[in-house]
Amino acid sequence: MLKGFLGSAEGVPSLANVGESSDYISSDCATRYFEILKMVEAFAGTFLLQHTDDTFDDYMKALGVGMMTRVAAKTTKPTVTCAVNPDGSVLFKTESALKSQNLNFKLNEEFEEDTLDGRKTKTKFYVENGKLIQCQKATKADEKDSTIIREMKGDEMIATMKCDNIVCTRTYKRK
């Protein structure tokens, strides 16, 4: 599938091939692609939730999450693991006592997501200004869209979650 991509002998992109032309992609495009992947690699690792601001309950209410689930979600401390796969796709894994989720995706490509709060969304991840942005578009008329903006600050991953006019920030620390 990726045979010949960036001139890689194994058919898998590598940083060693940046700037080389191939039959599939221009060197400028390849350079940009690897700049983005390198930025995403800053998110690689395992992170444990350290702090959630007071608007988390309001954020979950805006999404339509029921009271019992909100109470449970506020007491759990999820672990988030991010990894860049050899094919350039990204694994985003969230684990908690309440629920777990594995997302495998390619940047800038929409996919169907069953969210941790129970919605079915059309989701797309992309990179902008050093931030990893996740846009979740609800597939049902009575459900809400949301956006999660993740950024690295030292060994902390800051997740800013938005739904309607509610903004909530959660801080994760690298393990």
Q: How far apart are CA 117 and CA 140, in angstroms?
A: 14
When divided into structural domains, the chain yields a total of: 2
- The confidence band for 1, taking pLDDT boundaries of 50, 70 and 90, is very low
Q: Do 51 and 123 lie in a common domain?
A: yes
pTM: 0.81
Q: Do 30 and 68 lie in a common domain?
A: no
Question: What is the extent of the structural domain holding 87?
Answer: 42-174
Report the mean per-residue pLDDT for the chain: 85
Give the model confidence (pLDDT) of 19-58 as tens digits: 444 455 567 767 666 767 777 888 999 999 999 999 999 9
Give the model confidence (pLDDT) of 120-151 as tens digits: 999 999 999 889 999 999 999 999 999 999 99
More confident residue, 8 or 29: 29
Ranges of beta strands (E only) in 14-99 are 45-52, 79-84, 90-95
Q: Do 35 and 117 lie in a common domain?
A: no
Question: Which of 14-23, 117-126, 166-175 has the least mean pLDDT?
Answer: 14-23
Which residues partner with 84 through β-bridges? 90
Q: Do 64 and 127 lie in a common domain?
A: yes
Question: What CATH number does residue 51 fall under?
Answer: 2.40.128.20
Q: Which token pair is 102?
A: 């594995």
